[in-house]
Each structure stands twice: as C-alpha cells, then as structure tokens.
Amino acid sequence: MKEVFTFVAIVLAVLCFVLGTAALGSKVSCKAKTAEIRYQSDWGFFSGCRIKVEDGKWIPLERYYYRELGEGDR
C-alpha cells in the first residue's frame, strides 16, 4: 500500500510541475505578445491571453487587430 501511495504522490507532483511550467510559460508569452500595445493584458488557464479594451470588457488577444487610420478614416 505504501508503494502505491508513493507512486501516486510522485505522479501528482510531476503533473503539477508540468502544468505549472506550462501555465507560467503561457503567461510570459502573453505578456511578450502584448508588450507593444497599450492595453492591459491577462492570462488565464481556461481563458488564455486576453486584453482589456474597456472597463469590464476583455477580449481574446487573437480577436484584436491594429489598423492605421487612413485619410478617409479620420
């Protein structure tokens, strides 16, 4: 029984380490992707990389696009 408990504990520790490393890497990647835009960014495990476009409104980074205004747009 002790061997089973040890095995389960090791598997859980490795799983937590892998998930934690992946989450940290994704959060750092999100910050790097949003470093040049002026919006606040956030990363969540289930929501992914998001940016705050207005108070209370967050959108996925993939839906954000930047477009320079042309003469007719001003």
**Tens of pLDDT, residues 38-61:** 889 999 989 899 999 889 899 999
pLDDT in tens, 11-40: 999 999 999 998 888 899 999 988 888 889
Return the structure tokens found at 13.
């520790």
Amino acid letter, 42? D
**24, 70, 22, 60: which is closest to 39 by C-alpha?**
60
pTM, rounded to two decimals: 0.64
Return the structure tokens found at 11.
């598997």
Task: Find tokens 């996925």 and name the residue.
Answer: 60
